Amino acid sequence: MKKKLLMAGMTAVLSFGLMACSNGESTSGQSKDSSKADGKTTLQVAALESAYGKEMWTKIADAYETANPDVKIELTVDKNLEEAISPKMKSGDYPDAVLLATGRKLALTETLIKDKALEDISDILDKKVYGEDVTVKDKLIPGFTETLATNPYNDNKTYLAPMFYSPTGLFYNAALFKEKGWEVPKTWDEMWALGDKAKAEGISLFTYPTTGYFDAFMYSLLLEAGGPDFYNKAMTYKDGIWNSPEADQVFGIVGKLGKYTAPTTVANANDQNYKKNQQLILDNKALFMPNGTWVVGEMEDAPRAEGFEWGMTSLPAIKDGGDRYAFTFFEQMWIPAKAKNKDAAKDFLTFLYSDKAADIFAKAGAVQPIEGMASKLTGDNKLFYSIYDNGAKAGMGGFAATEAVEGVSMADALFATIDSIVSGDKTVKEWQEAVEAASDKLRAALK
């Protein structure tokens, strides 16, 4: 399960007792690179093993050691990366560079954000990509370093580098639509009409893997309802924002969508059985599900309806002619404030935006947010990444970081409750009130 929830406002469950200055500099005074072995700097790189696999990181390490013979890379690549590196970090042994996005269950990255324990890496944007004569910022697609997902304190400083990005949207079987002569809905009114038509043929309109997949869905819907200004107010916990007319539209749409959701969805919406919900799309038992481009790899070996063909669309517009959004998730890489080799780690980070590194990543299915990369893609990925060429707008960034508030999580309030909405155990009004209450508590803790 490859999930990338960009929730900087989640309740952290790990604590390292880290004491770091607000500019990301460690109070230990460590600033010079160390860890020399055989005259080389030993750079400890830790990366989450995701659907892209381990091998690409081995190839990256080899490529960088070839490009920079003064560095030796020690890799830690693990599906449970937090468990692999947390014990060492608690004893003061920090990796130099870490690929671990926000939104994971143990919330390690969120913990370090809240503890001000990440290094300010704003300067890498003006550095030349290692081995190339162009700066990092000149290679990046605009907008990727201007969100709370990279600048969690909203202070124009970058602490997390944007890595592999993935458009999200509603995935469906394009072959089924061709067979039935159905049009992909452009508005929510068209969506409801299609839902009624599909129901008459024994097909549900909607399913979802788990409620966690509603993050990108809700972010896109918020942007459609009120635009970027409204969205940013929601992400920074503005008083009353979740009781606004725009929010009423968002909650109302999700509540109505619950009535069109496949009946087995809630029972299987967990980490063990989520693929059963994804299978509903492949078996033509449901029309749409929110997901990201990684779903193709996850379901690669799953059985499917004859002629099955992946399709992907942005969310329908709330009104005819309104904006349509497809939220973009991206991985994040960061340097601990107490890393021993911060300068060397920054050089390594710039290399990850090189053409050499981007090609290695792309062959594993991981696409760097570099201008021009989408044109190099083939097959399903070419279709998915062209969504922004077909009228959809890109949404990015999540909730602002706050001090931890015991028992309060926007992820739980805003997303996890949706199971109860679909099952009928809670009303939309109860859900909306709980989200506003959580927002109020986090606003009080906003840094």
Per-residue model confidence as pLDDT tens digits over 88-121: 999 999 999 999 998 887 889 999 998 999 999 9
Upper half-sphere CA count for residue 131 (Cβ side, 13 Å): 17
What pLDDT is recorded for position 447? 60
Q: How far apart are CA 393 and CA 416, in angstroms?
A: 26
Q: How far apart are CA 395 and CA 223, in angstroms?
A: 7
Q: What is the DSSP letter of 412?
A: I
What pLDDT is recorded for position 399? 87
Tokens of 19: 């004491």
User: Among candidates 41, 102, 81, which has minimal Cα distance to 348?
Assistant: 41
Q: How far apart are CA 268 and CA 213, in angstroms?
A: 13
Q: Which pLDDT tens digits describe the chain residue by residue (447 residues)? A: 544 433 333 333 344 444 333 333 333 333 456 666 678 999 999 999 998 899 999 999 999 999 999 999 999 999 999 999 999 999 999 999 999 998 887 889 999 998 999 999 999 999 999 999 999 999 998 888 988 889 988 888 999 999 999 899 999 999 999 999 999 999 999 999 999 999 999 999 999 999 999 999 999 999 999 998 899 899 999 999 999 999 999 999 999 999 999 999 999 999 999 999 999 999 999 999 999 988 998 999 999 999 999 999 999 999 999 999 999 989 999 999 999 999 999 999 999 999 999 999 999 989 999 988 888 888 888 889 888 877 889 898 888 878 889 999 998 999 999 999 999 999 999 999 999 999 999 999 886
Q: Is 124 exposed, middle or buried (0-12, 13-18, 19+ CB in 10 A)?
A: buried
What pLDDT is recorded for position 190? 98
Instruction: Assess contact for 329 and 166: CB atoms under 8 A.
Output: yes
Q: How far apart are CA 290 and CA 278, in angstroms?
A: 10
Q: Could you give all domains of the chain from N- to C-terminal order, each with its CATH number?
A: 36-166+328-381 (3.40.190.10), 168-326+403-444 (3.40.190.10)
Supply the pTM of this predicted model: 0.75
Q: 243-276: b or e for each residue (b if 16 or more CB lie within 10 Å)? A: ebebbebbbebbbebbebbbebbbebbeeeebeb
What pLDDT is recorded for position 32? 56
User: Among candidates 147, 100, 123, 112, which has minimal Cα distance to 350?
Assistant: 123
DSSP string, 160-180: SEEEEEEEEEEEEEHHHHHHH
User: Among candidates 297, 331, 321, which has minimal Cα distance to 171?
Assistant: 297
What pLDDT is recorded for position 19? 35
Q: How far, CA to CA in Å, does 118 sit from each of 114, 122, 344?
A: 9, 12, 16
Q: How far apart are CA 372 and CA 233, in angstroms?
A: 32
What pLDDT is recorded for position 221? 97
Each residue's pLDDT tens digit, 404-437: 899 999 989 999 999 999 999 999 999 999 999 9
